């Protein structure tokens, strides 16, 4: 099993985009909202309490981002003279890409069990906590502690590289 292969990342992102785009009013915001959800995950990995629900969590967060973006644009249209601030700057796009690359580079430097855990969280959202524990060869009762340790190490290493965590 590859840890952070681009195909699996793409598959999860495509799922999130399809979920958001299922609402015709949000279709134009789906891809940006998906990327915003990943960025939020990078900033607040504790936002996903049950590892097996990462896909659902990302979809919910992406949908909320899309709704807010559509709302901002609608308010901007009403104001007519107000500039559209919902467009993301090239700098923000570059930062988001840099964060994602830094995350997966850092994950690759983690111990094997932590790498596999992060891969499962990101790419196998359909797995229950019990199934994730079985995949890792740990008891379900120790999965929460393992996840906390893994995320703490990841956060520490990203902070040491100059990335901040809100």
Quick one: pLDDT at residue 141? 92
Quick one: pLDDT at residue 81? 46
Quick one: pLDDT at residue 4? 46
Instruction: State pLDDT tens for residues 61-110.
Output: 888 888 888 777 766 655 544 455 556 777 777 777 777 788 888 989 99
**Residues 30-57: b if buried by 16+ CB within 10 A, e if exposed:** bbbbbbbbbbbbbeebeebeebbbbbbb
When mean pLDDT is compared over 5-9, 44-48, 49-53, 141-145, the highest value belongs to 141-145
Mean pLDDT, rounded, of the chain? 78
Give the residue carrying structure tokens 């104001």: 79
| % helix, strand, coil for the chain, step of 5 | 75, 0, 25
User: Is the pLDDT at 120 greater than 70, yes or no?
Assistant: yes
Instruction: State pLDDT tens for residues 150-159.
Output: 989 988 888 8
Instruction: State pLDDT tens for residues 14-54.
Output: 888 888 888 777 778 888 888 888 888 877 756 566 656 77
pTM of the predicted structure, to 2 decimals: 0.45
Answer yes or no: are the C-beta atoms of 36 and 97 closer than 8 Å.
no
Integer Cα distance of 141 and 150 in angstroms: 15
Quick one: pLDDT at residue 145? 93
Answer yes or no: are the C-beta atoms of 18 and 62 closer than 8 Å.
no
121, two tokens: 């969280």
């Amino acid at each position: 099993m590859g840890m952070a292969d681009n195909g699996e990342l793409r598959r999860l992102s495509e799922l999130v985009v399809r979920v958001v785009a299922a609402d015709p009013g949000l279709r134009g915001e789906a891809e940006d909202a998906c990327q915003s959800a990943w960025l939020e995950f990078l900033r607040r990995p504790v936002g996903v309490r049950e590892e097996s629900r990462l896909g659902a969590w990302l979809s919910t967060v992406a949908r909320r981002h899309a709704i807010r973006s559509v709302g901002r644009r609608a308010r901007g249209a009403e104001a007519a003279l107000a500039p559209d601030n919902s467009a993301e700057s090239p700098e923000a796009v570059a930062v988001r890409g840099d964060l994602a690359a830094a995350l997966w580079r850092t994950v690759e430097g983690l111990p094997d069990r932590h790498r596999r855990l992060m891969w499962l969280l990101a790419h196998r959202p359909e797995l229950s906590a019990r199934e994730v524990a079985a995949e890792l060869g740990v008891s379900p009762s120790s999965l929460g502690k393992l996840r906390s340790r893994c995320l703490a190490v990841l956060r520490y290493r990203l902070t040491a590289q100059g990335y901040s965590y809100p």
